[in-house]
Every structure is written in structure tokens, then in C-alpha cells.
Amino acid sequence: MDSKPKVMVILPVYREPVDVIRRAADSIAAQTYDNLSVLMVLDDPLNGEAVDFLTAYCEGRANFSLKVNEKNMGLARSLNAAMRDVAAEGGLICRMDADDVAHAERVERQVSYLLENGLDLVGCYMNVVAEDGTFLYRADSLPTGVDAVRRALRYNNCVMHPTWLGRCDVLSGGYRPVPQSEDYDFLLRLELEGYRIGNCPETLLDYTVSSGSISRSNLLRQYLYQKALTKAYASDRVLDLGEAAREVERAWTPSRERRFARAYARMNAFLGARAASERLVCIPRLIGSLVTSPDYIGKASRLARVSAIAKGDTR
């Protein structure tokens, strides 16, 4: 591959405020990597304010273009369509979300890491921030080497979706409709096909966690689908979507969902506490919620195994 391959950044937009979209777009416009184009994809054609803003923003920048979907498609289908549109151009595709901020050297550092290590797809570390920009914690307990990533994926997703940068021909394969786990399913299918996946060991993105994502009602279903994905992966097979749906619905109950969501929210509060005294206050409530949610304990143990693999990763 060319030492300076063309990078197409795909930036999907839905109903984020204009000032948030501008912040994300500006962070891509300020990248130090110069062989770069940006496709902004609006998945809400009725969002007139976003249409006006994005049209003006792209008209003023030669390397920015805009696609407005005819109807709302959802993130995975919207990304699939956008990646098919740019597949013929070759080069690399970079993921970016409309409420995140890319550090100025993100694309340059990820491209270099991908090329130097012969990778097909690369992620990176990231800062997790609140909607107001307050730093919560750093997601850096991630494996970086190909073998370590392959092992860690048996337990949890360890290549964060908003940080993906990969070969166009690899990513254009597309997402499948696995509820709340399309990206994890994508990674596991790539691994089963023999592609090389890694993480650049640098913090290159600020990822915004919204209040809605902490309180959403599908967290347990997401975890149950992840368990089904890893079970299939351990057997060297692609998940059967119908079989997985039946397994998840048999296991899911409203009470288990509530307990899981409560533990998730309290864990985030603990991780986001900036002072030791604040963390101490969080501990009793966190322990109480963990005791009532064996599902979340299972999730936490998987995260711990990924962290252990990352610590032992010598690339």
C-alpha cells in the first residue's frame, strides 16, 4: 500500500446539535494528515437545521462532501451505504462520530501504525468525556498487538468502534443487524476471516458518553448478544442471528435489565469520580448493585480478562 494512502473519513450525523457537529467536523478539518477527504452523512433528512449547516460547511471546504439519506436508516445501515459509495476509491476508511473529537494527529498516527504493523484495521485509546466535555476516564486498558487482540475478543470488544481506521476493501464488507453489537460482530467476522486487527497505543480521540447511553434500556440485551457472539467465536463460527435472538429473548427479563442498568450506571459514576473521596462515596452503592446483578459481574469479569491480556501484551 502507498506510504501516504488516501483516507476517507465517514462522519454520520443524526440529531446532534449544530455546535456539537461543528466541533467534530472542525477536529477532522484540523488533522495533520493531508491526503484526506470527508463524507458527512445526514441520517435525518427532515433535520432542516442540520441540512443547512452541513451544506454550508461542506461548500466551504474542497475535501468535504455531504450525503443526505432519503430516510432514516440507523447507524449501521447508513455506514454500510456510505462505505459502499466510497469502496471503489480504495485506500482507507476512518470512522468518526458527530459528538466526538479527534485529536489533531489521530489519522496520521493511526495510518502510520497500520502500515508499520501490516494491519487491516486499527483502533486506538480514547478519553471518555461527559456531554459537557468533563473528562471521566481514559480507555487505555486495551491490547494492541494482533495476537492479543484476537485473544481478548473472546471476552469483549477491545477495538473501540469510534476509533476504527481500516482498509476500504475490508470495511466495505458491512455490518449485520446484531442489536447493539454490530461492531463487535463485524470484528469477530474479520478475525474469523484471518484479517489483522490492532490498537495504536496512543490516546487520539475524545469519546462523548451521553446521559442517554448510561440510562438506556437495552444494556442487558447488548451483553446477552455479546455472550452469544463470543460463544460462536470460540467455536470458530459466525453467529447465527436467528439462534442468537431466541437465546437472548429466553434469558432477558425486565428485572434483570433494571439490575444490570443500575450496576452499569453506578460503575460509570465510580469511574467518573475525579477525587478519591468521591470514589469512596460510590463504593457502597456500587457493591450493592453488583451483588444484585450476576450479569453485570459477568460483564465486569470479561472486562478484567481483557485488561489482563492488555497488560501482558508485548506486541
At residue 215 the predicted structure's pLDDT band, cuts being 50, 70 and 90, is very low
- Residue 315: is its pLDDT beyond 80? no
The residue whose grid cell reads 473501540 is 160
Res 25: pLDDT:
97
Res 185: pLDDT:
97
8 Å CB contact between 287 and 297: no
Round to whole Å and give the CA distance between 54 and 179: 29
Round to whole Å and give the CA distance between 190 and 192: 5
The three cell numbers of residue 238 are 459466525
At residue 90 the predicted structure's pLDDT band, cuts being 50, 70 and 90, is confident
Res 211: pLDDT:
62
Tens-digit pLDDT profile for residues 40-73: 999 998 889 999 999 999 998 999 999 999 999 9
8 Å CB contact between 162 and 103: no
- Residue 213: is its pLDDT beyond 70? no
- Residue 12: is its pLDDT beyond 50? yes
Residue of 273 and 246 predicted with greater confidence: 246
Tell me how far the alpha carbon of residue 114 is from its chain's centroid.
18
Res 1: pLDDT:
66
Dihedral angle of Cα 1, 120, 107, 207, to the nearest 10 degrees:
170
| Average pLDDT of the residues of the chain | 92
Tens-digit pLDDT profile for residues 167-212: 999 998 899 999 889 999 999 999 999 999 999 999 999 999 876 5
At residue 98 the predicted structure's pLDDT band, cuts being 50, 70 and 90, is very high
Res 128: pLDDT:
92
Round to whole Å and give the CA distance between 71 and 79: 14
Res 214: pLDDT:
43
- Which residues sit opposite 41 in a β-bridge? 12, 67
- Residue 132: is its pLDDT beyond 80? yes
Q: Please report, as a single letter, which amino acid is at residue 245.
A: A
- Residue 224: is its pLDDT beyond 90? yes
DSSP 12: E
Res 86: pLDDT:
84
Round to whole Å and give the CA distance between 127 and 113: 19
Res 60: pLDDT:
83
Give the residue-averaged pLDDT of 101-115.
98
- Residue 30: is its pLDDT beyond 70? yes
Res 212: pLDDT:
53
The three cell numbers of residue 137 are 476516564
DSSP character string of 62-108: TTEEEEE-SS---HHHHHHHHHHHHGGG-SEEEE--TT-EE-TTHHH
